[in-house]
Amino acid sequence: MRRRWLFADQLGPHFLDDPGQPVLLVESKAVFRRRVFHRQKAHLVLSALRHRARDGDVRLVRAETYAEVIDEPLTVCHPTSRAARGLVRRLPGVEMLPPRGFVTSPQDFTAWAGGRDHLRLEDFYRHARRLHGVLMDGGEPAGGRWNLDTDNRQPPPRGARQLDVPAPPAITEDDIDQEVREELDRWQHDDGIAFAGADGPRLFPVTRQEALARLRHFVAHRLPAFGPYEDAMLAGDPWMAHSLLSPAINLGLLDPAEVIEEAEHAYRSGAAPLAGVEGFIRQILGWRDFVWHLYWYFEPRYRAVNELHARTELPKWFAELDADAVEARCLSDVLAGVRDRGWVHHIPRLMVLGNYAMQRGWRPGAVADWFHRCFVDGYEWVMTANVVGMSQYADGGRMSSKPYAAGGAYVHRMSDYCGGCRYDPKVRAGADACPYTAGYWSFLARHERELAGNHRMAQPLRGLRRLTDLDALVEQERARGSRAP
Ligand code: FAD
């Protein structure tokens, strides 16, 4: 059996044909010279590779480039970026196999997408559930409904500072983590390699055992609360009832199919309600597979699309995660989360960070690069659809039916941030104006023409036309420029 070359995001057993298959791992320092990654992301990837190297017949090679270590015939599963795929294709003696690590195949996706003008998650998700028999009772969705969003997505419980769910099992660092930490210190101080964010205790799994422990704990203890609070934010609870599994799934430590199976089993055995289980499975079988396929399905220049002509570069305070420079409580807290953990949950990513960037007209490619570098679960394939398409609407609606733009009222409804904030979500102009509220109206005013044909934007645009203080508000936003709010 040929040795299997595993990229650093292909570490689990589902990337092998046989548990005893010999493995090649390549650790390349050059990757960390090309981009300023979050320090905790670098730690996670190196620690995961080095832990995997202790497991079975594994050759781990440290090298500047991949090409210099390929000296025997190898097989490799389809990599997750165009650059890596190009590299594999150029190397003689390396056979590339179909992708693994996702539930649906490229053929499943193209059969569904072919001929459609608009690619919408809901349609793909139903197709994938039927195809793979997930949460299905015969030909019908379990419980009779495909989408239980109306039961989910509630604001946080009134007065709560934290959700009443058990914390995920803590990670215990070992000698490999210690070695990685010391080595990253040397890279920083001796080799001038820069990292974003703060170092800190390792928060996410690097081994299959740690990943399985997190999965089982989540399904048993946290999944029941996932649905109702999946969109809620609390200043004192960054994790809420989220699974925290994206770093482990994206490193390939968990097969998304097994994650889905465990979640469905929880529903079938009565351990978790359908709404939460459906909401969770929608994230993995739906969103995760959907954005993966869109990365390959859209043309390579999709990453650079910019339909809203957003050209402002990221201000220094944002680029450098300077949360202390920000007074708006939600943005400051979320930026601090990125700095200190390299992870915040979906709604802070979309409605606090992405929303702020889109409102201010920051260049989508720069925003995507920032997300890629600063998040522990950030990979090239996740960026295009999530950041360029969903969060910045830079594709003019090819994957979402309207921009995810919202004012302070959304943050107020879905979090406890506004209570202790110096800004008022109801105020549009003046010293107390919430930057999200002012930014929202200013964004709509700037793009009124482009959004006019979108029926989902008709109501907000009618609201815009009724504003009597629009000129003052727009002028105030222009004057704020790139200053931290
Ligand atoms: P949960 O809320 O518990 O969801 C379960 C799983 O579903 C996640 O672990 C993840 O594997 C998957 N998932 C959910 N939504 C998505 C999605 N939109 N795209 C892909 N997978 C999804 N996800 C990443 O894995 N890496 C990223 O770099 C990333 N960047 C994002 C940037 C922006 C602007 C936005 C809006 C979303 C991004 N996401 C990214 C998607 C999502 O926010 C994260 O997957 C999720 O917050 C990870 O936390 P969790 O594991 O607790 O997720």
Distance 252 CA to ligand 1 centre (A): 15
Which residue has a Cα nearest atom 4 of ligand 1?
283
Which residue has a Cα nearest atom 41 of ligand 1?
346
State the residue for tokens 């964004």: 443
Give the residues of the chain that fall short of pLDDT 70. none
Category of 190 on φ-ψ map: left (φ > 0), alpha (ψ -120 to 50) or beta: alpha
Distance 364 CA to ligand 1 centre (A): 18
Distance 346 CA to ligand 1 centre (A): 6
Ligand 1, residue 250: give the atom nearest the CA.
25
Tell which one of 40, 291, 382, 387 to mutate to probe ligand 1, the residue whose CB is within 8 A of the most ligand atoms. Answer: 382
pLDDT, residue 157, reads: 94
pTM value surpassing 0.90? yes
Ligand 1, residue 244: give the atom nearest the CA.
52
For domain 106-171+192-297, which architecture applies? Alpha Horseshoe (1.25)
Q: Are 3-97 and 106-171+192-297 equal in CATH topology?
A: no
Does CATH number 1.10.579.10 belong to domain 302-480? yes
Distance 198 CA to ligand 1 centre (A): 21
Tell which one of 122, 149, 204, 246 to mutate to probe ligand 1, the residue whose CB is within 8 A of the most ligand atoms. Answer: 246
pLDDT, residue 387, reads: 97
Distance 367 CA to ligand 1 centre (A): 16
Distance 246 CA to ligand 1 centre (A): 6
Ligand 1, residue 379: give the atom nearest the CA.
28
Q: Say if residues 383 and 411 touch (Cβ distance below 8 Å).
A: no
Tell me the pLDDT tens digit for each residue of 441-469: 999 999 999 999 999 999 999 999 999 99
Distance 382 CA to ligand 1 centre (A): 8
Ligand 1, residue 375: give the atom nearest the CA.
28
**Which sequence spans correspond to the domains of the chain?**
3-97, 106-171+192-297, 302-480
Distance 160 CA to ligand 1 centre (A): 25
Distance 284 CA to ligand 1 centre (A): 9
Superfamily of domain 3-97: HUPs (3.40.50.620)
Q: Which residues does ligand 1 sit against, CB inside 6 Å?
A: 242-246, 249-250, 283-284, 287-288, 291, 345-346, 349-350, 354, 371, 375, 377-378, 382, 386-387, 390-391
pLDDT, residue 355, reads: 98
